[in-house]
Amino acid sequence: MLAACLSGLALTASAALADWQPTKPIEIIVPAGAGGASDQMARMMQAAIQNNKLSPTPIIVTLKGGANGGEGLMDMLGSPGDPYKMVISNSAIYTLPLANKLPFDWRKLTPISILAFDNFVLWVNANAPYNTAQDLVAAMKKEPEGAYKMGGTGSKREDHILTAAVERIAGVKFSYIPYKSGGEAATQLVGDHIKVNVNNPSENVAVWRAGQVKALCVFDNEVMDYPAKVTADKSWKDIPTCKSQGIDFQWIMLRGVFLPSGVTPDQVAFYQTMLGKLVETAEFKEYLEKQALKPSDLKGAEMVKFLEKDEALYKDLMTQSGFVATN
């Protein structure tokens, strides 16, 4: 029903040819802290929209990362009919409500567009004696359960959920260590305080370029489509899929834009038109390559279809891992 309604809304919005125009600044809500991937993306969007004159009014970025991002999501939920707020969010729209019983449902917002997807890569220290996921799994099976420390961002979030899935598929057990950020996990891996992490490409690119870590595989059904060399001899495209190395699992994280509920079709049309132009800018394309993000053009009913399927996957995996709050 929701997909059908949003499909009709998208069609009506397109027909409206974005008759509505903003008359005051537009606020991008970032449900995360300063300097993280969401903040970086919002700042890029702000600059690209203003540099290319895609909006008649300024763009303001507001960080609302309290309660692990719950502050920003609840702010959007409490702003029905406000066309001057958009939130850029990731899979926290599922994990926070499931893990913390946050009274939030993405269906109570207006999905606009998924701009990109973040990949996850299996990383080890550069001096580790293994070069493939099979090598790592074989080494782990020779050690006591939990002997290998896996570092990740937060608890019961994407990195933790992915770790639990890898454990079930490969028949191994990590000792999972939660950190405040992917940057901290990267530092711990370089220092050999943990044996493995599953950071996004952007979180480990600096230490990979410096030759301090190795990329074993990417958790996607296809390799990343960026052939430019990042290290002396490796590009993102050179990283094989984990599927090809015996861990058949795809794990990508959306980066999507939502408006509050109750906005009008012509307001939806304005934002879809603006973001459609944004993804064609040089700034956005450069950002995608720099962060090794997977492009996306999902919006309307197709976006809703993805969200419903992705949410079901998260709920299933979190339930299997005991991460869903029960009281």
Give me the residue spans of the domains in the chain.
2-118+252-320, 121-245
What topology does CATH give the domain 121-245?
Answer: D-Maltodextrin-Binding Protein; domain 2 (3.40.190)
Are β-strands 121-125 and 110-118 bridged in parallel, bridged antiparallel, or unpaired? unpaired
Give the pLDDT confidence of 5-16 residue by residue, as tens digits: 554 444 444 444
What pLDDT sits at residue 181? Answer: 86
Residue type (1 letter), 321: S
Whole-angstrom Cα distance, residue 180 to residue 48?
A: 29
Give the pLDDT confidence of 88-112 residue by residue, as tens digits: 999 999 999 999 989 999 999 999 9
Q: Do the domains 2-118+252-320 and 121-245 sit in the same CATH topology, yes or no?
A: yes
Give the pLDDT confidence of 181-197 residue by residue, as tens digits: 888 999 999 999 999 99
What pLDDT sits at residue 16? Answer: 41
Three-state SS for 19-80 is CCCCCCCEEEEECCCCCCHHHHHHHHHHHHHHHCCCCCCCEEEEECCHHHHHHHHHHHHCCC
What pLDDT sits at residue 17? Answer: 46
> What is 2-118+252-320's CATH number?
3.40.190.150
